[in-house]
């Protein structure tokens, strides 16, 4: 690829003795949409504020478009920002809010007016220019905050949990809105979220953070299917974690069964955790035509609409508990009930191994 | 070692933006302003207390002289017990009154609240003058005292109770109205008796408010000078002793000694009050459910009786002063006349003094709210120079602990020093304005801070990201959104500038006499009726300004309704 638009190198931020960011490095490419994802307090906002210059890091550098901006105040950087609280100026109309950054640049009034109208149309509120923020719904206010940040055509857009103050429906709708709008403008964007679904559905790449450090950077698919650590595996999506023993290269002992899997970096005889996504567990009922299969008993069935949650244990699984996602249509065919015994199949490439005793949470 | 030094990445030294330079500079200016109008004068006064009349350092000699003179040290005991007694009475009455207004089901709550606030509009002298008309040698109700004289502790306590009552009431109403209904429901559902609920829920809930009110009132009484001056007779108190030493005997050094002694209880009260305030505000959880009183006839009737009685006394004292200002020749000729309002015949008063007061109050309100609001803004929003911000904030809190007379005396020492380049201010209108702003700085500062803290803290971040200088956002967003608070501050300055005596009594010159000082001087010269007239004039003016304020606040509220969204 080309050179990165934003290079963050070895960023560390300390608040007194507390290290909020620990040696964080990321590259962002022109036009990319990156999500910072992680549990509360892991340093997402701290990282964003360091990039924006609002709270400059203790060590490390930030380069934007080839320039070192590490020590520059926010006013000397090129970014637009939207906060969770929107921070709209309540005493100014929507139009004046959007025009706020333009009015400072000595542009002719008419040009400002046209630009504001253009932005109002862009965010789908062409007639709301004369309203005050408090007269708009939360989602509309959010879009005004976005328009205000975009008005000055910044090179980088920073969003700190822009959707978390909204209710679920509006959130999903705005997700698509922001995605479409961003794609149209092609603006490099960083969005903070602690909603993994949001990150997966919106981002080009996801930065998973934990306790001030980066756990993994990758596309949503990579993060989901090849989690680099147990933390990522557990944090993103649903995951079965089963204690197992690596009996030889490419084979684990799980309960009373042996399963093939792809392994790297573990010596035979090591106790490991096998991670399996519920949707990767295939239920074959009475038939057992596959390799990598075993038998277990249905403990519970929970109907979720398009699929069932299947709770399994016993049989060859022994004490272990396994959750599987069974498509509703398949469930009808199999006609499973609690206490039924069923065959299960897990493709080898869907079993990932992590070291045991890894501290998580 | 050397290797580690090489490996450690360089610490980033943030480059300061223009905004930060400007705000840092502004903060320095503010700190300098507060140092000049507050800290330096006080420090100089401290030094003066250890010098003789010729400015030679004499260590603690003045203090020794003071403490070996029983005529002087008697004032300490006097001040303490009179203040304690007055505080006890005020707190008891104000608690009952506040309880009735917040927890009782009584009619005319708005009216009673208004009446209780009326003493705020008057100089403390007014109550003393009215008491003299009521209980003095020719008093209408002299017999009620069973032969005791109103000139002395009785008069001081009664007068102090009158003018400090609203101060206690405001604090106690706040404390009682933050009650959490859920606690009452819990207590009721547990079958607790009413007295038990009162003792286990109401009192603990209001305890920090009570502590706060006790110390505020105590400080007000012990540092007040107007009431004991007018009605104290031969009974000396610390505040009147300072006046006697400075104005009577021109003994400034001894004045400084007494000032420092007076400063002591005020400083203690200040710290206790700050502590209680911080506990009070943290006790209110955001999930608390407001309490709505239910009618209980017996209790409500008793409360109504109490409230009516207190309101009647307040109105009686105000009415007495008003009548005294209108009666031709008390007590012989009670026909009404306006001639006492023609101050030409009275000694020490004039319409010029009234004009000066208005002028002074106006400048204080305008300049004061400007300085205080910009100051609070800088303290709250500057992102650099944390130590300087903290220091400035602490400086802004000092005035609460400094009695007006002490500040006035400190100003004499500082501004009247021959070598001081600011000497030209001495005797001018400007020094009165500076002293009044300094004297009433703390409450205004805290009001402004509270308003600023309610705004979204990210306004400044957004503004910086849009490359808009901070002063533009402050002017277009922050100040307009804080306008109600700014108006409150201005009005607080105006009314207090009209009514204060203690802060300015050492600082006025013949060209800048003030209405409140004129009340004092006319009363001193025996022109009691014109003194009452001038005091009433102050009440009317302060009242009119308050009305104006209420009107403009309402107008503002309506105008900004659109964006406030309610
Ligand atoms: N000004 C500060 N002083 C001290 N500690 C701070 C400060 N700001 C943040 N922290 C600490 O740094 C850590 C990271 O905070 P940050 O706000 O970056 O978390 P976050 O990932 O954005 O969390 P959330 O999802 O809750 O917003 C937290 O433990 C927080 O307490
Ligand atoms: Mg955050």
With contacts defined as CB-CB under 8 Å, which chain B residues touch A95?
Answer: none
pLDDT higher for A2 or A52?
Answer: A52
Interface of B with A in 11-30 (CB under 8 A): 11-20
Of A10, A60, A104, the CB nearest to B466: A104
Pairing of strands A205-210, A33-37: parallel
User: What is the spatial distance between Cα B539 and Cα B553, in angstroms, rounded to a whole number?
Assistant: 21
∠ CA A132-A137-A139, nearest 5°, is 115
Ligand 1 atom having least distance to the Cα of A212: 14
If asked whether residues B34 and B126 sit together in one domain, one would say no
Q: Give the chain B residue whose CA is nearest to the CA of A62.
A: B12
Cβ contacts below 8 Å, chain A against chain B, sum to 105
Q: What is the 3-state secondary structure (H, E, C) of B122-153?
A: CCHHHHHHHHHHHHCCCCCCHHHHCCCCCCCH
B272 pLDDT tier (thresholds 50, 70, 90): confident
Rounded mean pLDDT, B270-284:
72
What's the domain range around B547? 16-48+347-566
The percentage of chain B sitting over the pLDDT mark of 90, rounded to a whole number, equals 47
In terms of Cα–Cα distance, which of A48, A40, A21, A43 is closest to A361? A40
Tell me the per-residue pLDDT of A240-298, one tens digit each, with 9 for 90 and over. Answer: 999 999 888 888 988 888 888 887 778 888 888 999 999 999 988 887 767 888 889 99
In a domain, B57, yes or no: no
The percentage of chain A sitting over the pLDDT mark of 70, rounded to a whole number, equals 98
User: What is the spatial distance between Cα B330 and Cα B337, in angstroms, rounded to a whole number?
Assistant: 12
If asked whether residues B394 and B529 sit together in one domain, one would say yes
In a domain, B161, yes or no: yes
Question: Does pLDDT of B310 surpass 90?
Answer: yes
In a domain, B62, yes or no: no
Ligand nearest to the CA of A159: 2
User: What is the spatial distance between Cα B307 and Cα B93, in angstroms, rounded to a whole number?
Assistant: 9
Beta bridge partners of A15: A18
Question: Does pLDDT of B190 surpass 90?
Answer: no
Q: Which residues contact A72 (CB under 8 A, 6 or more apart)?
A: A53, B15
If asked whether residues B378 and B301 sit together in one domain, one would say no
Interface of B with A in 450-489 (CB under 8 A): 456, 458-459, 461-469, 472, 476-477, 480-481
If asked whether residues B121 and B200 sit together in one domain, one would say yes
Those residues whose beta carbon sits under 5 angstroms from the ion ligand 2 are A 45
In a domain, B58, yes or no: no
The closest residue, in CA terms, to atom 31 on ligand 1 is A41
Provide the mean pLDDT of chain A: 90
The closest residue, in CA terms, to atom 11 on ligand 1 is A20
Question: Does pLDDT of B564 surpass 80?
Answer: no
Pairing of strands A33-37, A188-193: parallel
**Cis omega before residue B331 (within 30°)?**
yes
What is the B458 CA–ligand 1 centroid distance (Å)? Answer: 15
Q: What number of residues does chain A have?
A: 361
- Counting ligand 1 atoms within 8 A of each CB, the residue from A17, A20, A158 with the most, and so the one to mutate, is A20
What is the A199 CA–ligand 2 centroid distance (Å)? Answer: 15
Rounded mean pLDDT, A117-122:
93
Residue B9 near chain A (CB below 8 Å)? yes
Tell me the per-residue pLDDT of A63-101, one tens digit each, with 9 for 90 and over. Answer: 999 999 999 999 999 999 999 889 999 999 999 999 999
Contact A58 B11 (CB under 8 A): yes
User: What is the spatial distance between Cα B78 and Cα B70, in angstroms, rounded to a whole number?
Assistant: 12
User: What is the spatial distance between Cα B375 and Cα B372, in angstroms, rounded to a whole number?
Assistant: 5
- Residue B286: per-residue pLDDT: 47
B175 pLDDT tier (thresholds 50, 70, 90): confident
If asked whether residues B226 and B353 sit together in one domain, one would say no
Rounded mean pLDDT, A151-159:
93
Sign of CA dihedral B11, B12, B15, B16: negative
If asked whether residues B278 and B385 sit together in one domain, one would say no
Nearest C-alpha of chain A: how many angstroms from B381?
13
Instruction: Answer for the pair B164, B170: CB distance below 8 angstroms, yes or no.
Output: no
> Complex ipTM, two decimals?
0.85
Tell me the per-residue pLDDT of B401-441, one tens digit each, with 9 for 90 and over. Answer: 899 999 999 999 999 888 889 888 888 999 999 999 999 99
Question: Does pLDDT of B346 surpass 80?
Answer: no
With contacts defined as CB-CB under 8 Å, which chain A residues touch B472?
Answer: 104
pTM for the model: 0.88
Helix/strand/coil for A46: helix
Alpha-carbon Rg for chain B in angstroms: 26
- Residue B290: per-residue pLDDT: 63
Across A212-216, A243-247, B91-95, B162-166, least confident range: A243-247
Reading the block at residue B310, the tokens are: 């207190």
Question: Does pLDDT of B109 surpass 60?
Answer: yes
In a domain, B288, yes or no: no
Rounded mean pLDDT, B438-452:
92
Ligand 1 atom having least distance to the Cα of A161: 27
Residue B561 near chain A (CB below 8 Å)? no
Residue A62 near chain B (CB below 8 Å)? no
With contacts defined as CB-CB under 8 Å, which chain B residues touch A99?
Answer: none
Q: Which long-range contacts (CB under 8 A, 24 or more apart) does A19-27 make?
A: A19/A212, A20/A46, A20/A212, A21/A46, A21/A47, A21/A50, A21/A57, A21/A212, A22/A211, A22/A212, A22/A213, A23/A60, A23/A213, A24/A60, A24/A209, A24/A212, A24/A213, A24/A214, A25/A60, A25/A214, A26/A207, A26/A214, A26/A217
Contact A132 B461 (CB under 8 A): no
If asked whether residues B332 and B415 sit together in one domain, one would say no
Rounded mean pLDDT, A323-340:
88
If asked whether residues B332 and B360 sit together in one domain, one would say no
Ligand 1 atom having least distance to the Cα of A47: 18
Helix/strand/coil for A226: coil
Task: Report the CATH number at residue B153.
Answer: 1.10.3720.10
- Residue B3: per-residue pLDDT: 47
What are the backbone angles phi and psi of residue A131, rounded to the nearest 5°?
-80, 165
Q: Which of B460, B462, B486 should we substitute to test contact with A (largest number of A Cβ atoms within 10 Å)?
A: B462
- Counting ligand 1 atoms within 8 A of each CB, the residue from A15, A84, A85 with the most, and so the one to mutate, is A15
Instruction: Answer for the pair B130, B322: CB distance below 8 angstroms, yes or no.
Output: no
What is the A84 CA–ligand 2 centroid distance (Å)? Answer: 9
In a domain, B289, yes or no: no
Q: Give the chain A residue whose CA is nearest to the CA of B461.
A: A54
If asked whether residues B310 and B364 sit together in one domain, one would say no
Ligand nearest to the CA of B386: 1
If asked whether residues B303 and B432 sit together in one domain, one would say no
Nearest C-alpha of chain B: how many angstroms from A30?
20
In a domain, B210, yes or no: yes
Contact A83 B10 (CB under 8 A): no
In a domain, B8, yes or no: no
- Residue B299: per-residue pLDDT: 87
The closest residue, in CA terms, to atom 30 on ligand 1 is A41
Of A89, A104, A148, the CB nearest to B477: A89
- Residue B561: per-residue pLDDT: 73
**Residue A344 backbone zone (phi > 0: left; psi -120 to 50: alpha; other: beta):** beta
Neighbours of B390 (CB within 10 A): 11
If asked whether residues B492 and B465 sit together in one domain, one would say yes
Q: Which of B454, B457, B458, B465 should we substitute to test contact with A (largest number of A Cβ atoms within 10 Å)?
A: B465
If asked whether residues B219 and B313 sit together in one domain, one would say yes
Q: Which of B7, B12, B479, B556 should we substitute to test contact with A (largest number of A Cβ atoms within 10 Å)?
A: B12
User: What is the spatial distance between Cα B186 and Cα B182, in angstroms, rounded to a whole number?
Assistant: 6
Contact B466 A101 (CB under 8 A): yes
List the strands of the sheet with A251-254, edge to edge: A257-260, A251-254, A240-248, A271-276, A352-355
- Residue B4: per-residue pLDDT: 47
Reading the block at residue A99, the tokens are: 């025009």
Contact B465 A74 (CB under 8 A): yes
Domain count, chain B: 2
């Amino acid at each position: 690829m080309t050179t990165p638009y934003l290079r963050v190198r070895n960023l560390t931020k300390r608040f007194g003795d507390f290290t909020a960011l620990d040696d964080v490095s990321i590259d962002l490419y022109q036009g990319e949409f990156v999500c910072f994802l992680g549990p509360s307090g892991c340093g997402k906002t701290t990282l964003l504020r360091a990039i924006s210059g609002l709270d400059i890091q203790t060590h490390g550098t930030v380069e934007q478009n080839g320039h070192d901006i590490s020590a520059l105040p926010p006013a000397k950087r090129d970014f637009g920002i939207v906060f969770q609280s929107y921070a709209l100026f309540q005493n100014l109309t929507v139009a004046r809010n959007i025009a706020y950054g333009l009015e400072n640049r000595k542009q002719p009034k008419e040009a400002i007016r046209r630009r504001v109208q253009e932005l109002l149309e862009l965010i789908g509120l062409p007639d709301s220019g004369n309203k005050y923020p408090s007269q708009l719904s939360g989602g509309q206010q959010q879009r005004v905050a976005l328009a205000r940040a975009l008005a000055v055509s910044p090179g980088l857009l920073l969003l700190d949990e822009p959707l978390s103050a909204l209710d679920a429906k509006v959130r999903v709708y705005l997700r698509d809105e922001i995605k479409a709008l961003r794609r149209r403008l092609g603006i490099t964007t960083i969005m903070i979220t602690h909603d993994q679904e949001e990150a997966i559905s919106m981002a080009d790449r996801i930065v998973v953070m934990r306790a001030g450090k980066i756990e993994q950077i990758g596309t949503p698919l990579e993060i989901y299917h090849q989690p680099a650590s147990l933390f990522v595996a557990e944090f993103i999506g649903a995951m079965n974690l089963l204690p197992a023993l690596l009996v030889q290269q490419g084979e684990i002992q799980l309960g009373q069964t042996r399963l093939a899997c792809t392994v790297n970096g573990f010596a035979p005889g090591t106790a490991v955790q096998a991670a399996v996504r519920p949707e990767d567990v295939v239920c074959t009922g009475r038939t057992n035509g596959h390799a990598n299969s075993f038998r277990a008993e249905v403990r519970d069935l929970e109907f979720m609409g398009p699929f069932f949650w299947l709770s399994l244990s016993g049989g060859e699984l022994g004490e272990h508990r396994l959750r599987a996602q069974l498509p509703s249509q398949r469930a009808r065919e199999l006609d499973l009930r609690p206490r039924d015994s069923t065959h299960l199949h897990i493709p080898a490439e869907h079993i990932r191994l992590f070291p045991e005793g890894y501290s998580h949470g | 070692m050397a290797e580690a030094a090489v490996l450690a990445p360089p610490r980033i030294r943030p480059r300061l933006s223009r905004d930060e330079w400007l705000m840092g500079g502004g903060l320095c200016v503010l700190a300098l302003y507060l140092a000049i109008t507050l800290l330096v004068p006080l420090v100089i006064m401290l030094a003066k207390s250890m010098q003789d009349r010729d400015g030679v350092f004499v260590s603690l000699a003045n203090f020794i002289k003071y403490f070996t003179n029983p005529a002087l040290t008697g004032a300490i005991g006097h001040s303490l017990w009179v203040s304690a007694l007055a505080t006890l009475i005020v707190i008891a009455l104000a608690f009952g009154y506040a309880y009735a207004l917040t927890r009782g089901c009584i009619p005319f709550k708005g009216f009673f609240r208004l009446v209780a606030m009326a003493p705020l509009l008057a100089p403390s002298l007014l109550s003393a003058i009215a008491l003299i008309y009521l209980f003095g040698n020719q008093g209408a109700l002299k017999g009620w005292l069973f032969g005791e004289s109103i000139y002395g502790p009785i008069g001081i306590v009664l007068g102090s109770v009158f003018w400090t009552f609203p101060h206690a009431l405001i604090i106690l109403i706040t404390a009682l109205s933050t009650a959490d209904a859920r606690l009452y429901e819990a207590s009721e559902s547990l079958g607790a008796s009413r007295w038990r609920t009162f003792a286990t829920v109401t009192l603990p809930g209001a305890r920090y408010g009570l502590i706060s009110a006790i110390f505020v009132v105590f400080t007000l009484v012990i540092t007040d000078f107007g009431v004991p001056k007018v009605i104290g007779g031969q009974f000396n108190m610390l505040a009147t002793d300072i006046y006697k030493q400075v104005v009577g005997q021109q003994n400034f050094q001894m004045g400084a000694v007494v000032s420092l002694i007076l400063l002591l209880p005020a400083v203690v009260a200040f710290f206790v009050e700050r502590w209680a305030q911080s506990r009070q505000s943290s006790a209110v959880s955001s999930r608390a459910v407001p309490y709505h009183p239910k009618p209980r006839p017996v209790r409500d009737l008793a409360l109504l009786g109490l409230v009516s009685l207190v309101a009647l006394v307040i109105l009686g004292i105000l009415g007495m002063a008003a009548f005294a200002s209108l009666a031709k020749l008390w007590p012989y000729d009670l026909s009404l006349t306006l001639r006492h309002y023609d101050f030409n015949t009275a000694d020490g008063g004039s319409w010029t003094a009234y004009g000066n007061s208005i002028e002074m109050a106006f400048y204080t309100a305008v300049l004061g709210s400007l300085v205080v609001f910009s100051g609070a803004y800088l303290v709250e929003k500057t992102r650099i120079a944390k130590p300087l911000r903290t220091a400035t904030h602490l400086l802004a809190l000092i005035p609460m602990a400094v009695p007006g007379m002490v500040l006035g005396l400190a100003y004499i020492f500082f501004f009247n020093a021959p070598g001081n380049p600011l000497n030209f201010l001495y005797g001018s209108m400007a020094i009165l304005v500076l002293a009044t702003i300094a004297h009433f700085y703390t409450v205004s500062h805290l009001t402004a801070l509270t308003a600023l803290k309610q705004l979204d803290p990210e306004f400044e971040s957004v503004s910086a990201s849009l490359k808009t200088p901070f002063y533009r956002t402050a002017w277009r967003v922050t100040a307009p959104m804080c306008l109600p608070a700014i108006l409150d501050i201005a009005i607080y300055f105006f009314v207090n500038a009209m009514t204060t005596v203690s802060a300015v009594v050492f600082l006025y010159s013949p060209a800048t006499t003030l209405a409140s000082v004129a009340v004092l001087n006319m009363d001193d010269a025996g022109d009691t009726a014109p003194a009452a007239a001038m005091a009433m004039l102050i009440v009317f003016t302060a009242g009119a300004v308050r009305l104006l304020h209420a009107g403009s606040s309402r107008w503002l509220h309506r105008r900004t309704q659109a964006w406030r969204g309610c």
